[in-house]
Amino acid sequence: MNDVKMERFKYDDELTKLFIFATVIWGFVALLLGVTVAFQLASWKVNMGLEWSTFGRLRPLHTNAAIFAFVGNAMFAGIYYSTQRLTKSRLFSDVLGRIHFWGWQLIIVAAAISLPLGFTTGKEYAELEWPIDIAIAVIWVVFAINFFGTLVKRREKHLYVALWFYIATIVTVTVLHVVNSIAFPVDFMKSYPVYAGIQDALVQWWYGHNAVAFFLTTPFLGIMYYFIPKAANRPVYSYRLSIIHFWSLVFLYIWAGPHHLLYTSVPDWVQTTAMVFSVMLWMPSWGGMINGLLTLRGAWDKVRTDPVLKFMATSVTFYGMATFEGPLLAIKSINGMAHYTDWIVGHVHSGTIGWNYMIISGMLYYLVPKMWNTTLYSVKMANAQFWLATIGLLLYMMSMWTAGITQALMWRAIDETGKLVYPNFIETVVRIVPMYWVRAFGGVLILAGFILMMYNLWLTIKKSKGLEEQEYMAPAMEKVTSEVNQTAHRKLEGLPTLFTVLTTIAILVGGIIEITPSLISDTFVERDSEIKPYSPLEIAGRDIFIKEGCYVCHSQQIRPMPDEALRYGPPSTAAESVYDRPFQWGSRRIGPDLARVGGKYNDMWHFRHMYDPREVTPKSIMPEYTWLFKKKFEIKTLPKKIKVMTALGVPYTDHQIKNTVLLAQKQAFEITKGLNVDGVDMKMQNKEIIALIAYLQRLGVDGARSRELKKQVRSEQ
Amino acid sequence: MIREFLLKINQPWLPTLGTALFVGIFVGMLIWINRRGSNSYYEEASFLPLDEGVKSER
């Protein structure tokens, strides 16, 4: 018998502790922002009349804080803690760990400053501007080096299933972030994406959906596979099932992104593919859920008493519910009703609160007492948080289901004469405002529970007498294994590089098939010579539209449905958004679609509407944008913007490129002159409101002219 | 030539290929994980989270 060489080592738990603190702090910020934006929809006065605190600017801050700050830090805490123990090795580098931690916090602070100031790319969940995007890429690489470095120096040959999910997370987030963030900078905090129109939409929602998949889901499935067996002191229910779960999930998930674009001008085959693969996702998702829950077999009595297992069992149950609802919503006929409504918002929160918040809470209740060598200060307090979060979430989901289905049915209602029953969009908003109050109340309960957890964890740490860094021993890993009868998968798991390559191939197949043709082929977009690029002033106005986050409440994509045709006009075509960088199709209609708003109202209507929405639309919940009437639109950067657009392939004429400023001033003068008839001062011509009006009045105008010309040609024939 | 090839990719048979690919991988995986003699290995692997090394008494 060979002597086993034992090695001594210590885990770097200080880094995990840092990420735990960050998780708790940012979790509070994210939830507070969530409650704030929820109240803003219930009462427009909560927008507070400040440009930095409108719903349009705070909602992206809320989503970024929740995803990248709260969930991100929790993910790093869980990964660093479990990876060291699963590899029986200290992290590859303490220094890289600290660079990762402080770099990530700096990125979050940069986001917290830049988003309320209006620096945004206008792409959901990818709003941060290019310098911050580069910082994210750098810090992510630091994280990857530290993680893979730890795998290289591991003492456990076998890579446990949790580590596979971490590998998939690191690889896929890298691919998604890099591909979706490619942009041409205009200046330090402004850029335009290299993609336009449907290409941008496809890339963005391939990113957006898979950010959910590989940032909010796969790392936490790894955490589930580590912490549930650990907390229940039971092995994972079925290791075989975990293999099927992993490979099926990473292969299928990436295909599902375009289900966010059903009934849009994206090609039909892409939509159908996304729908079919979304439905197939049921299988691995539920396989994972079943595996997680059955790991608790024989330990169900503990679920009743142990807060860790209580939160984890609930999180896995919500994961099952959310991954049932997701494919359901991806079925075209159901999506036709649910899309653009609050049903989607409810679904998203059943995942982020039900799955992420719950599993993070369970993980924190496991980690804090263990790492500070003490017991939890109060189990009662943890139970109180559990019920506050569960009841709050149920109120949230039920109110959003009700609001979503109510509004969808009202939008679609057509009477026997073929007219809309609710032609005035605001009627459908007023009807669901009570649900917004219920949602906000649910959010307050969730936040209150979180504060209780913060207090509980703080008292737990306070009562700790401290712990000296513990030393561990494990056998050194032999370089050449002599084991016989290894299964192929076991060999594969011993080779992290090959495993990573195969995972990369699995996640790339779907993306390549769905997206590459649209990036290269012109056949996707039928060119229309009547669709012209935006004028310089309209570009300035469009940038204001993006800066104010108008896209979070207004879509610009009319679907081929009778009620939408009656309410907004003919369906949007791919050609109409060929110059849209970024695309602005939106994902929710808190206000009406704007794809064909150009010419629907006169300039004065927009002028009054932006100053006081309730003056022209009684009971509107839109904030007042009074600063647009004081601030000058950016004219200095316009020539650079036009040059960047030209470099990206937008066919501006030499005249437009050489006379950008002059053309913008001329158009602004004409608009203000028209408003002057109704008493608006000519001094307003350099204000942001004029540029915004120019942009809004352009929307859908070229498409209408094109249809008119085609009609004339047909009638002449 | 590459462009010409990619232009032709815009075809509805692609989803069918993707589905077939997945079904193939899935069935292959089912056979693979049920290989004879793999029981003890999977049993051992499922216990990995429960072992985080031996605490040194030093």
**Separation CA B51–CA A85 (nearest Å):** 8
In this prediction, residue B41 carries a pLDDT of 83
Amino acid B7: pLDDT: 53
Residues A552 and A700 in one domain: yes
Which region among A162-171, A259-268, A286-295, A681-690 has the lowest average model confidence (pLDDT)? A259-268
Residues A563 and A462 grouped into a single domain: no
Contact A247 B3 (CB under 8 A): no
Contacts of A662 (CB under 8 A, 6+ apart): none
What is the pLDDT at residue A1? 46
User: Tokens in use for A171?
Assistant: 């690889």
Give 3-state DSSP helix, strand, coil % of chain A, rounded to 5: 70, 5, 25
Say if residues A525 and A574 touch (Cβ distance below 8 Å).
yes
Contacts of A308 in chain B (CB under 8 A): none
Read off the tokens for A599.
């010419």
Place of tokens 């860790």: A308
Rounded Cα distance between A668 and A673, Å, is: 8
Q: Are residues A553 and A496 in the same domain?
A: no
CA within 13 Å, CB half, A91: 24
CATH code, A637: 1.10.760.10
- Here the ipTM equals 0.81
CA B10 to chain A, closest CA, distance in angstroms equals 6
Residues of chain A found within 8 Å of residue B7, distances taken between Cβ atoms? 517, 520-521, 523
Considering only residues 88 to 117 of chain A, which have any Cβ-Cβ distance to chain B shorter than 8 Å? 88
pLDDT given for residue A311 in this prediction: 97
Annotated binding site of A for heme b: 62, 347, 349
Paired tokens of A61: 């801050």
Quick check: A86 pLDDT over 90? yes
- Domain assignment of residue A349, given as a range: 12-466+487-514
Nearest CA in chain B to A84: B52
A500 alpha carbon, distance to own chain's centre = 25
Q: Are A550 and A501 members of one domain? A: no
Phi, psi of A190 (to 5 degrees): -145, 135
What's at A98, amino acid-wise?
R
List the structure tokens of A570: 């003919």
Q: Among the three residues A446, A479, A514, which one is the final residue of a domain in this structure?
A: A514
Ordered alpha helix ranges (H), chain B = 2-7, 13-33, 39-46
C-alpha pair distances (Å), A473 with each of A572, A576, B2: 65, 65, 56
Distance of alpha carbon A554 from the chain centroid: 17
- Cα A697 from chain centroid (whole Å): 30
- Which residues have CB under 8 Å from A402's CB, separation 6+? A432, A435
Domain assignment present for A665:
yes
Chain B residues whose C-beta sits inside 8 Å of any chain A C-beta: 3, 6-7, 9-12, 14-15, 17-19, 21-22, 25-26, 29-30, 32-35, 37-38, 41-43, 45-50, 52-56, 58
Would you state the pLDDT for residue A480?
Answer: 45
Q: Are A322 and A350 in contact (CB under 8 A)?
A: yes
Partner B contacted by A230 (CB < 8 A): yes
The reply to whether residue B48 touches residue A470, judged by beta carbons under 8 angstroms, is no
Same domain, yes or no: A64 and A123: yes
* CATH number (domain holding residue A348): 1.20.210.10
A297-305: long-range pairs with CB below 8 Å, 24+ = A297/A234, A297/A237, A298/A234, A299/A232, A299/A233, A299/A234, A302/A232, A305/A379
In a domain, A709, yes or no: yes
List of chain A residues whose C-beta atoms are within 8 Å of the C-beta of residue B3: 520
- Tell me if A167 is assigned to some domain: yes
Q: Distance (Å) from the C-alpha of residue A553 to the closest C-alpha of chain B?
A: 33
Give the pLDDT confidence of A90-143 residue by residue, as tens digits.
999 999 999 999 999 999 999 999 999 999 999 999 999 999 999 999 999 999
Average pLDDT over residues A584-591: 96
- Of A446 and A529, the structure prediction assigns the larger pLDDT to A446
Q: Let me know whether A540 and A506 are in one domain.
A: no
**Which residues of chain A are within 8 Å of residue B17 when distances are taken between CB atoms?**
513
| A5, part of any domain | no
**C-beta of residue A620 within 8 angstroms of C-beta of residue A554:** no
Which residues of chain B have a CB within 8 Å of the CB of A89?
none
DSSP state, residue A687: B
The pLDDT tens digits for A145-156 are 999 999 999 988
CA–CA distances in Å: residue A19 to residues A133, A148, A215, A357? 21, 19, 16, 15
**Worst-scoring range by mean pLDDT, A136-140, A244-248, A395-399?**
A244-248
Q: Report chain A's mean pLDDT, rounded to a whole number.
A: 93
Given its phi and psi angles, is residue A423 left (phi above 0), alpha (psi -120 to 50 degrees) or beta?
alpha
Asked whether residue A566 carries a pLDDT value surpassing 60, the answer given is yes
CA distance A65 to chain B (A): 31
Taking residues A409-414, report their average pLDDT.
97
Structural contact between residues A352 and A216, judged by C-beta atoms closer than 8 angstroms:
yes
- Within an 8 Å CB–CB cutoff, is residue A572 touching chain B? no
Cite the beta strand spans of A377-510 per DSSP E. Answer: 471-475
- Together in a domain, A455 and A601: no
Tokens (6 digits) for A537: 């002033």
Q: Is residue A366 within 8 Å of A230, Cβ to Cβ? A: yes
Determine how β-strand A183-187 pairs with β-strand A471-475: unpaired
Cβ contact A420:A567 at 8 Å = yes
How confident is the model at residue B55, as a pLDDT?
A: 75
Q: Give the CA dihedral A646, A650, A655, A657, nearest 10 degrees.
A: -30
Which structure tokens are listed for A43? 């009462």
A184 phi/psi in degrees, rounded to 5: -100, 120
DSSP letter string over A666-712? HHHHHHHHHHHTTT--GGGGGBHHHHHHHHHTTTTHHHHHHHHHHHH
Asked if A544 and A499 sit in the same domain, the reply is: no
For residues A460 and A544, state if they share a domain: no
Rounded average pLDDT over A253-274: 89
Residue of chain A minimizing CA distance to B2 = A520
- Is A248 within the bounds of a domain? yes
Whether residues B32 and A86 touch (CB distance < 8 A) is answered with no
Work out the number of other CB atoms within 10 angstroms of the CB of residue A8.
12
Give chain B's end-to-end CA distance (angstroms, integer).
68
Q: Chain A 464-503, CB below 8 Å of chain B: which residues?
A: 470-474, 485-490
**Nearest C-alpha of chain B: how many angstroms from A178?**
22
pLDDT in tens, B30-43: 888 888 778 888 88
Q: How far is CA A121 from the centre of its chain?
A: 13
What per-residue confidence (pLDDT) applies to B50? 86
In a domain, A550, yes or no: yes
Dist CA A625 CA A691 (whole Å): 14
Neighbour tally for B43: CB within 10 Å: 11
> What is the average pLDDT across A288-315?
94
Residues 6+ apart with CB under 8 A from A572: A264, A265, A556, A557, A558, A559, A595, A703
pLDDT in tens, B3-57: 555 555 556 677 788 888 888 888 988 888 888 778 888 888 888 888 877 776 6
CA closest to A223 among chain B residues = B49
Residues at the binding site of A for Cu cation are 209, 259-260
Identify the residue with better confidence: A455 or A522.
Answer: A455
Over residues A595-624, mean pLDDT: 97
For residue A656, tell me if it sits in a domain: yes
Quote the number of domains for chain A.
2
Q: Does A252 touch chain B (CB under 8 A)?
A: yes
Q: Is A9 on the interface with B (CB under 8 A)?
A: yes
- The confidence score (pLDDT) of residue A621 equals 97
Structure tokens at A593: 């679609």
A339 and A437 assigned to the same domain:
yes
Q: Which of A203, A517, A520, A268 minimizes the C-alpha distance to B10?
A: A517
Nearest CA in chain A to B50: A230
Distance CA A603, CA A693 (A): 7
Calculate mean pLDDT across residues A413-432.
97
**Would you place residue A7 in the very low, low, confident or very high pLDDT band (cuts 50, 70, 90)?**
confident
**pLDDT exceeding 90 applies to what percent of chain A?**
84
Rounded Cα–Cα distance for residues A609 and A310 (Å)? 50
CA distance A384 to A685: 57
Chain B CA closest to residue A244: B29
Beta strands in A117-257 (DSSP E): 183-187, 190-193
3-state secondary structure of A414: strand
Contact A252 B22 (CB under 8 A): yes
Residue A254 neighbours by CB distance under 10 Å: 27
Contact check, Cβ <8 Å, B52/A472: yes
Contact A201, A282 (CB under 8 A): no
* DSSP helix/strand/coil, A184: strand
Same domain membership, residue A288 and residue A159 = yes
> Is residue A271 in some structural domain?
yes
Burial A571-588 (b: 16+ CB within 10 A, else e): bbbbbbbbbbbbbbbbbb
Q: How far apart are CA A166 and CA A540, in angstroms?
A: 42
Identify the residue with better confidence: A343 or A502: A343
If asked whether residues A611 and A650 sit together in one domain, one would say yes
Residues of B in contact with A523 (CB under 8 A): 7, 10
Distance CA A534, CA A584 (A): 14
For residue range A320-338, list pLDDT tens digits in order.
999 999 999 999 999 999 9
Which residue is it, tokens 């158009």? A667
Helices (H), A48-160: 55-64, 72-87, 94-114, 130-152
Residue A48's beta-bridge partner residues?
A: none
Of A251, A473, A523, the CB nearest to B25: A251
Rounded-to-integer distance, Cα A466 and Cα A371, Å:
9
pLDDT mean over A297-306: 91
